[in-house]
Amino acid sequence: MYDVIRSLAYKTRTNLIFKAALLGVTGLMFVMITSIDDGAKLCGSQLAVCFADSGFFLLIQCLTIGGIIIGSDFNDKTLNYEVMSGHNKKRSISAE
Amino acid sequence: MIVALLTAIIATLIAINVPVIVVSAIGGWGNAISLSSYILRVAMIILPIFKFIALMQLLRFVMRNYFAAIAVGFIVVFFEMMITGFLDLPDWINNVLISTSFNKLLGYVSNVNEQTGAISYISKISNSDLTIVISVNLIMGLLFMIGGYIYCKKNDLDT
């Protein structure tokens, strides 16, 4: 299980769309920072409140990152190879 | 399936929280909301994320192309936002939809004290709603996972 997590983490790290999604989060952070009142001191809790208001963007991030990780898991056909090598589908799917 | 789901949830939580951690490291935590309240909130949004990623997994099995699954997921979220923006939906639908349950769990309502001018933030969700939203998200996520598993088991895996 740990090896699968490591391989997924590696595939995600090297994925261009994942980098774009992270860039999107960073861009959103800067937008949020500029939207905070000038008088208020920039702090983590203030940003957390601003982030909470932007649920749509967070969902898009969630969608992109989740989609990439799950997609890369199936795109390399590991599941196919496991089934072809004799493991049953139940075991292969739960181990993926 | 389960490992990919776990990895996706952890990666999403990291991506969402990194900016807050970075800004906290630079400017401190502050006093808009308490740290324990934020941690509790992040722990609670694991369930809508779980539901959403389980839906993505089901879409991935059905569509066999992850770009198409992402596109459909985007349409689902956008459509939900449109519906909730234009229509006044009953509460039980708001608990079922991904975007509204996410907003309910994560969101705050600002409250200005007229005497001192201080702004305090209180949670958008009531205690009774909280139980419903959490259980609905958990059950729907499990249903999506079971649906994905059944579809995968009954169909050819060749992608």
State ipTM.
Answer: 0.74
Q: Which residues contact B104 (CB under 8 A, 6 or more apart)?
A: B94, B95, B124, B125, B129, B133
Per-residue pLDDT of chain B (159 residues; tens, 9 = 90+): 788 888 888 888 887 888 888 888 888 887 778 888 888 888 888 888 888 888 888 888 888 777 888 888 888 888 888 888 788 777 777 777 887 787 778 777 777 777 776 667 777 777 777 888 888 889 989 999 899 888 887 876 655
* pLDDT at residue B12 in the model: 83
pLDDT value, residue B143: 93
The reported pLDDT for the residue numbered A39 is 60
- Do the chains contact at A75 and B159, CB–CB below 8 Å? yes
The token pair that represents A74 in the structure block:
């199936």
The whole-number pLDDT of residue A19 equals 77
Those of residues 9-38 in A touching chain B at CB distance below 8 A are: 9, 12, 21-22, 25-26, 28-29, 32-33
Position A33 scores a pLDDT of 67
Interchain contact B120–A (C-beta under 8 A)? no
Which one-letter DSSP state was computed for residue A42?
A: P
Q: How many CB pairs under 8 A join A and B?
A: 180
- Render the burial of A29-63: b for 16+ CB within 10 Å, e for the rest: beebeeebeeeeeebbbbbbbbbbbbbebbbbbbb
Q: Once rounded to an integer, what is the mean pLDDT over residues A9-32?
A: 73
Of B2, B9, B106, the CB nearest to A52: B106
Which of the pair, B5 or A26, is modelled with greater confidence?
B5
- Name the maximum alpha-carbon separation found in chain A: 65
**For residue B150, what pLDDT is reported?**
87
Contact, B51 vs B142, CB < 8 A? no
pLDDT average, residue stretch A9-25? 74
**Sign for the pseudo-dihedral over CA of A65, B12, A6, A79:** negative
Q: Residue A40: its pLDDT value, please? A: 62
| Mutation site, B9, B17, B20, interface A, largest A CB count within 10 A | B20
With an 8 Å Cβ cutoff, are B102 and A96 in contact?
A: no
Handedness of CA A15, A17, A21, A27 (dihedral sign): positive
CA distance B128 to chain A (A): 21
